[in-house]
A = this chain, B = another copy of it.
Amino acid sequence: MTKSYEQLMEYIDKVMAFQAALTLFEWDAETLAPEESMNYTAKTIGILSNEYFTNLINEDVKALISKLSEENLSVRENAIVKQIKKSYDEMELIPPKEYQAFKELTAKASGIWAKAKKNQNFAEYAPVLDEIITYQKKFAGYRAKANENPYDILLNDFEEGFNTKTLDIFFDKIKKAVIPLLKEVTKKEASIDKAYNYQDYDVTKQKEFCNFLSEYVGFDKAKGVIAESAHPFTMQIHNHDVRITNHFHTNNLESAIFSIIHESGHGIYEMNIDDDLTQTPVGGGTSMGMHESQSRFFENIIGRSESFWLPIYDKLRETYSEQLKDITLEHFIKGINKSKPSLIRTEADELSYPLHVIIRYEIEKMIFNNEITTDELPKVWNQKYEEYLGITPPNDAVGVLQDIHWAGGSFGYFPSYAIGSAIAAQIYYHMAFVMPFDQYLKDGNLSPIREYLKEHIHRFGGIKNTNEILKDMMQEELNADYYVKYLTEKYTKLYGLD
């Protein structure tokens, strides 16, 4: 460890401590804090955010980063400095006052968005969204090199090395396969009866079963907790304190089940990161896309397979002996995989899901290419839903107003969801080749699967980026072909097509 590195770490240890505190306040706000608290806690959060910022962005840190670029560092140290430099570069070129104004704008915007959604009235939201877009275009402009597409800057923030060029190819492959496949599937939609899922399911029993499920897939309660919130999410203070939430509906059995498996997947990733990265800037999962790949691997590849349910379906059936009396395992597996084009991304099935993402990707590209005004968003949104999914939103609440992301200033985030699904499929084919994957599931023995993911993905935290991880793991970077193959094989079989 060099002297400069030590000096840099004095700042970074503080930055990480403030981040941990901010994370805990955010967790608390989503799960527990009383209604009136935020009016005052906002002041505390403002001060902690400012301390976070000033300890990260200052002349001292800048000089130390520059000095360290010429020093001999270990792989770990090098990755940490690189990550700090990335955060520094993202922030440095944006004038602090503009950033502050932008933060205040987005803090305000989520309330406006929620109200507009409730009123099904995009016009209420359009002005603030337009301001947010203007800021993001400006910020991306500050950071863009000559001839660089501003949207590419944002995409790269979420997934290092990804841009419109790579993603156009990626999404094009998916679109060409999924749109016709979904049309075929939709014709046979009625062949799977899913009425059982929408009966009355006691919430206390749901909680018990979801608790069992989280442990079954490997979420370690010594390093994590589960709470409730309006929308399920995962958050970590560090790799020994990983927090997930779930939500429960009396009239929907599978919602909580697949949410808990999904969030457990996120949680297991974080818990498996090496301890020598804990509380450093590379102490979390490497990217949004890689994170989604793990949650979706657990939720879809593992959690929606017949082999997974073979040893545990009886337990679920005993829990709800009345409601599932006539539902065989085969029927249940068809039910949890049933596909039907729908309007809401977060409720979409595995097959139609990527189309929801593609629509958002194409619209975001149009926004940053100045090919669309904010006012035109609902019209274009609805046209694309009709074109790709064959349905038109009856109002904007279930259309362009459904996601909170843009209100928070997040553009370039949506592709991560589809990248995650594609990585999950690619990993699946690899793992089914190197280990008796299916047999492990049938035996209720998920530990070798988790260990393999830990060994090749999780433990590295942010030391390697997505494509580096994939290449080291299976000698190939992200390739949408596997995802297309996976969806085609799965749904052809499920619906008895061709």
Which residues of A are in contact with B by a Cβ distance under 8 Å?
13-14, 16-17, 20-21, 24-25, 28, 32-37, 39-41, 43-44, 47-48, 51, 221-225, 227, 237-242, 278-279
How far apart sit A20 and B47, CA to CA, in the bound complex (Å)? 11
Q: Is the CB of B14 within 8 A of A238?
A: no
Q: A24-B24, A44-B20, A48-B17 are in contact. Are A37 and B223 (CB under 8 A)?
A: yes
Q: Can you list 9 A-B pairs with a CB-CB distance of less than 8 A?
A: A17-B44, A17-B47, A21-B25, A28-B28, A34-B221, A34-B240, A36-B240, A41-B237, A51-B51
Q: Which residues of B contact A227 (CB under 8 A)?
A: 32
Q: For residue A25, which residues in chain B have a CB less than 8 angstroms away from its CB?
A: 21, 24
**Known A-B contacts A20-B41, A20-B44, A44-B21; A14 and B223 likewise in contact (beta carbons under 8 Å):** no
Min CB–CB distance A224 → chain B (angstroms) = 5
B43 near A17: Cβ-Cβ < 8 Å: yes
Which residue of A28, A40, A48 has the most chain B CB atoms within 10 A of its CB atom? A40
Interface centre among A17, A20, A41, A278 (most CB of B within 10 A): A17
Contact B225 A33 (CB under 8 A): yes
Complex interface: chain B residues within 8 A of A32 (CB): 225, 227
Asked whether A222 lies within 8 Å of B47 as measured between CB atoms, the reply is: no
Give every chain B residue within 8 A of A279 (Cβ-Cβ).
40, 43-44
Q: Considering the chains assembled together, what is the distance between the CA atoms of A16 and B28 in angstroms?
A: 18
Query: Do B240 and A47 have beta carbons less than 8 Å apart?
Result: no
> Could you say which residues of chain B place their CB within 8 Å of the CB of A221?
34-35
B-side contacts of A40, CB under 8 Å: 237-241, 278-279
Taking a contact as CB atoms under 8 Å apart, the answer to whether A16 and B36 are in contact is no
Which residues from chain B contact A39 at a C-beta distance below 8 Å?
240
User: Please, which residues of chain B bring their CB within 8 A of the CB of A28?
Assistant: 24, 28
A239 to B34, CA, bound (A): 11
Known: A17-B51, A40-B279. 12 other contacts (CB 8 A): A13-B43, A17-B44, A21-B44, A33-B225, A34-B240, A36-B222, A36-B241, A37-B240, A40-B237, A41-B241, A43-B279, A51-B51
- Report the 10 A-B pairs with minimum CB-CB distance, sorted nearest first: A37-B241, A17-B47, A21-B21, A36-B240, A17-B44, A20-B44, A35-B222, A40-B238, A36-B223, A40-B240
A362 to chain B, nearest CB (A): 42
In the complex, which residue of chain B has the Cβ closest to the Cβ of A35? B222
CA distance A227 to B32 in the complex (A): 9
Shortest C-beta distance, A40 to chain B (Å), equals 5
Nearest B residue to A32 by beta-carbon distance? B225
